[in-house]
Structure 1
Amino acid sequence: MEEGTLFYIKRWQLRGSYDEEDPEHDKGVLEELFSGIELKRLSIIGYRGVKFPICFWNPNSISNIAFIKLEGRKYCQSLPTHGELPSLKTLYIKQLDGIASVHKEFYETNGKFASLESLSFSLTSAWKEWNSIGVGVKDGEVFPKLQELCISDCDQLITGDLPSDLLSLTKLLIVGRTKEAIIESLLLKTQVLHHLELGECKKVLMV
């Protein structure tokens, strides 16, 4: 790709490599791609890298993206930083089975997901901890515009510590054998909830 060349692509999808001898192949593809294009929607399915490339940790390189879908495999061990992306409205995370913890790197130093409206975690089997210790957000709360939160079939999740209340959340969906403590913790963070859907909840929760 020639230096200085800029391409505009509205939507792009990567389906991961099946080359067992080179699991980092997909990382190189992404690094080359983001050096010369702007995206609005990005779907990455079957990514085989252990960590997402540097471009994913630099908000300036993907600042125009409004929709991100990361659907995975067991290799990736950490989520990229998306908290400072100014245009991101939808973030969908599915089957990233190497992710055990969502912590401060997810937000970045002062990232608060300023435009995010919909957040979904699905079938992330190793996820045990949603930890916001060390998240220092200035000038308001995290997820100020989040309207919909879905946690589906994340059966190992045992802690759900959000850094602030979800002041705009109107729809909460928790599907599967989610721990009751997680449900209670999330409900305590809401103020204007209109739609609540719980799956396999053994008792009525009082919050």
Structure 2
Amino acid sequence: MRDKNHVDKLSLEWSESSSADNSQTERDILDELRPHKNIKEVEITGYRGTIFPNWLADPLYLKLVKLSLSYCKDCYSLPALGQLPSLKILSVKGMHGITEVTEEFYGSLSSKKPFNCLEKLEFEDMPEWKLWHVLGSGEFPTLENLSIKNCPELSLETPIQLSSLKRFEDSGSPKVGVVFDDTELFRSQLEGMKHIVELDISDCYSLTFFPFSILPTTLKSIEISGCQKLKLEQPVGEMSMFLEDLNCINVIV
């Protein structure tokens, strides 16, 4: 594979019916499938090793713009993807062995900020993920779209400063929704979202309060659904005034 310089996209999928006898063997197989440095998109589905080979986070992949890791259920850590220089879209789904996303995810801190070009980040169906370590050093400087779906144990206790974020979606991750219950924490989170235009929150059963009064004026759309404990304590008229003044045009509760 590494000699095929004309290949733009590589998709690797393991059969669901088979199981791995040796994690090192699985890693060796994936290592031998290393693509040429001209690759632009990589999809890996159902990989059965416990860790990924080093090539997946090699900063010499200057043209790699899209990466998808799906249902690699035995993996217990993510590679240093933050050092991929041109990565724009990252999707991580069904990684059932992940309990923490640590400093390793960002890679070695050089002159460039981690995930220097990333525009879209998606985490989905990660039932054991509990901790997302935040560096607080300006990571994700160009991120516009963040989606967290079906990560029921993940808790965001520290605001992630996302200065370029335009769309935030939280679905089926109730502990992430708790950030909206804490006015000061939510205020801190919003202070770093200078371009946010859309909030989409669904199935956050622990969400009881939403601070409409401190929403930024950049917001154009808010969607809230399936939050059964949410109580809108403000009168409808006052809430409508808030939303009208803040230019928010779509609210579903």
Indicate the residue corresponding to 2:28 in structure 1.
28
> One-letter code of the match for 1:76?
C
Relative to structure 1, is the Cα distance of residues 130 and 104 closer, same or farther in structure 2, using a 3 angstrom cutoff?
A: same
Indicate the residue corresponding to 1:205 in structure 2.
210
Counterpart Cα distance in 2 of 1:155 and 1:176: 6
> One-letter code of the match for 2:156?
T
Equivalent residues, number = 198
How big is the shift at 1:175? Answer: 0.3
Structure 1 gap segments, 5+ residues each = none
TM-score normalised according to structure 1 size: 0.84
Indicate the residue corresponding to 1:8 in structure 2.
6
Relative to structure 1, is the Cα distance of residues 144 and 36 closer, same or farther in structure 2, using a 3 angstrom cutoff?
A: closer
Greater C-alpha radius of gyration: 2
Counterpart Cα distance in 2 of 1:28 and 1:43: 17
Indicate the residue corresponding to 2:170 in structure 1.
174
Find the residue that maps to 1:59 and give its secondary structure. Answer: coil
Q: How does 1:1-207 map to 2 (within 5 A)?
A: 5=3, 7-17=5-15, 18-34=18-34, 36=36, 38-60=38-60, 62-110=61-109, 111-132=113-134, 135=135, 137=137, 141-161=138-158, 165-179=161-175, 180-182=177-179, 184=186, 186-187=189-190, 189-201=192-204, 202-206=207-211
Deviations 1:36-60 (A, max 9, x none): 4531000000011100012124322
> One-letter code of the match for 2:172?
G
RMSD of aligned alpha carbons: 2.4
> Does structure 2 retain, via aligned residues, the 8 Å contact 1:6–1:37?
no
Identity across the alignment (%): 30
Q: RCO (CA 8 Å, sep 6+): is it higher in 1 or 2? A: 1
Structure with greater strand share of residues: 1
> One-letter code of the match for 1:103?
T
Counterpart Cα distance in 1 of 2:9 and 2:26: 18
How big is the shift at 1:157? Answer: 0.5
Counterpart Cα distance in 1 of 2:79 and 2:40: 17
Deviations 1:111-166 (A, max 9, x none): 4211100000000111000112xx485xxx2111110000001001023546x521
How big is the shift at 1:108? Answer: 1.1
> One-letter code of the match for 2:29?
V
